[in-house]
Amino acid sequence: MQRIYFSSIIFAISTVSSLSFAAQSEFRKKTHLLPDAPSSVYFQALKVSPLQSRMFIGGVTQEAISLGEKNMVWLKYMNSFRGEENQLRLTKPGQLNGIPITKPNRYNPETVKAETNAIKKDIPAEMLKVLTGSKEMPQNPMLDEETYILWAKRVDKNYQTAVRWTLMEPYLTQLADERSQDVRGYYYLNQMQNLENILRAFNSQPIETQNDIKEWLRQICVNSAGLSAGCDKKVATSIQSQKVYELYLKYMPGGQKTWDSYFKLYNPRPEMEWTDVDSSRAILPFRDPTNTSILNFLKLNIEDEWKWDGWTLGLDFRGKADVHVEFVPGVTPHVNGVGGNTITMDDNAPLSEWDVQWTIRHEFGHVLGFVDCYVEFYDPTEKIITNYQLDIDNLMCSRKGRLQKTHFETMKAAYLKR
């Protein structure tokens, strides 16, 4: 994850050229925060955000934020009395769901308020008393652990949503322009069987199917031509003239180009050592951290993740290598750009934590030139933000994800010297 910068927003939107990652808005690059980031990261992001963002906290979101922060404090307090093997954890490897493209998050103050009210109505009374501060924090959950974790996770998720809205609200205008990156039209049209026959017989389809297809066609039109292209009118005209399939053929390449931009490799590193002499192993120089525990942390996690079917990527620790890791207390983990040299990690986060281990694996992907593959935008009509991850099993899209064959093949095309 790249660090969040909310100041000095420079928003540069063109039409077709803005569809490639390299030409995406400065806003998109600077406001990066994975939608399924853990609450510890959201807490730090809110803490270090400028006053402009913090001023948007109030009323509706503040209650959810207060409950969520107390939830975290209480969990940490209870765990201070437990051994490592008995820690209460809200997230564990293999138990994350991600945010699939078929089930996107949609959030605004009204959704946060509704969920806050629902939580307060149904959560066990003793637990609510602790979270609202009317009861001192006990050393145990006061109810069976399974029930406690169920409710703590729900409070935690609502907290994340409330913080995310707070961080994004000052920049809804910029987020509205990110609608051109919505690739659901491409995704759903690409999934349809007998698509040509369906589109050529559009007027014979059930109304629900027609409405879905109209929206998907509008989206690929926007992917190709931009938000000001009059895509609603173009879709309507194609239906009236019975040329729906022709419209699809015209704009589907733009949808695919936008989709593909999330999975390409940008700014490949010239110092990568990968040749036909030994194509089963690549070597990347990495600055020696001099600290043995950090060195082992890097080797264990990066080399364990970045390997595929007999191929491995090894770190060669050298004193003057460009790629390096820095630890800064309280920072949101990030890399200084796609293909950047500096991975910055939170010095307050224990290296033994799974979230920290996953984060270094993900951030290293940015060093290699991969981008985050999630979409987030604001709809001014509905006044709601939508986000989703293009592939929840992909390391660069979701905390649920791991390295995939496509990563290996993309790196091989960019880095293997023959």
Helix then strand then coil, in percent of the chain rounded to 5, is 50, 10, 35
141-178 pLDDT, tens per residue?
999 999 999 999 999 999 999 999 998 998 899 999 99
| Domain termination site, one of 127, 149, 176 | 176
Q: For residue 192, what are its two tokens?
A: 């349809």
In a domain, 393, yes or no: no
Helices first, then strands: H and E counts in the chain: 17, 9
Same domain, 36 and 170: yes
Burial (0-12, 13-18, 19+ Cβ within 10 Å), 139: exposed
218-231 pLDDT, tens per residue?
999 999 999 999 99
In a domain, 354, yes or no: yes
How many structural domains compose the chain?
3
Instruction: State how far the Cα of 278 lies from the Cα of 263, in Å rounded to an integer.
Output: 26
In a domain, 379, yes or no: no
Contacts of residue 326, Cβ cutoff 8 Å, sequence gap at least 6: 342, 343, 344, 345
pTM score, whole prediction: 0.89
Burial (0-12, 13-18, 19+ Cβ within 10 Å), 149: middle
In a domain, 386, yes or no: no
Same domain, 248 and 291: no
Same domain, 357 and 248: no
Same domain, 323 and 254: no
Range of the domain at 97: 16-176
Q: According to the model, what pLDDT value does residue 3 have?
A: 31
In a domain, 9, yes or no: no
The sheet with strand 105-107 has its strands ordered as: 105-107, 384-389, 374-379
Q: According to the model, what pLDDT value does residue 91 have?
A: 84
Same domain, 168 and 29: yes
Q: According to the model, what pLDDT value does residue 59 have?
A: 67
Q: According to the model, what pLDDT value does residue 96 have?
A: 86
Same domain, 126 and 196: no
Instruction: State how far the Cα of 405 lies from the Cα of 413, in Å rounded to an integer.
Output: 12
| Domain termination site, one of 261, 288, 316 | 261
Radius of gyration, CA atoms only, the chain: 23
In a domain, 302, yes or no: yes
Same domain, 21 and 163: yes
Run means of pLDDT, 10 residues per run, the chain, 418 residues? 31 30 46 83 80 56 95 96 92 86 97 97 97 94 95 97 92 93 98 97 97 98 96 98 98 98 96 95 97 96 97 96 95 91 94 93 97 96 97 96 97 95
CATH number for the domain harbouring residue 286: 3.40.390.10
Same domain, 297 and 166: no
Same domain, 115 and 29: yes
In a domain, 245, yes or no: yes
Same domain, 61 and 204: no
Same domain, 227 and 307: no
